[in-house]
Structure 1
């Protein structure tokens, strides 16, 4: 992993609105919303919350968090994020399971981005499971 992997995008700081969109609803900044998850001072209570925090990790280029929250059986050796990609908006379309009493869950979403200035959308249905009681990303369906 490169040194830049642990740095956040200069355009997004802890006082910026949280990229996951949840912070907007609650009036929280990145530092109040997904920041504690990225720092490891708290963990995601639901699969959707983990997915939102992972989206924010993509937005701020936190490759270490992405690896830490990836299931060991599907986790790549490293993550290299493209600096030309800017994550611009997240839409959560629905979820199944993934709650406090579940062991598995899925979250369907649209992640809006620009790649070298061109708008694009990633539409995915992600699977999450628990490892040692913590939610982790397994794979995309």
Structure 2
């Protein structure tokens, strides 16, 4: 795991942020359940990133040429990391938003709904634009 953290940029970023969050929550007035949710969120992102690194490494060893199926599997593995990161953001907003920014429950829920709707829709729009561009390139 240490080698993966040192060699994979995204894993290193998630690990540093995750450890920073876990250290920070020990100094905040949180219940044990809130701390567990924060720790679960951090571990889920790091775990998903480790699995993504594993999947990409295996596929890179198996396939030396470009393969659309390999690209699809890598994209799905990266998507798992993204969804775990969105989960962590939602948990952070609910728990830390109340403690650090005095979010009222309703404003936190509205912000979470925005994040959970906006980012997936944005990713679909960007993906559609990219695929539309790829298809127009193929017709030449």
Q: What TM-score does the superposition give when structure 1 sets the normalisation length? A: 0.28
Instruction: Name whichever structure is richer in helix by fraction.
Output: 2
Q: What TM-score does the superposition give when structure 2 sets the normalisation length? A: 0.28
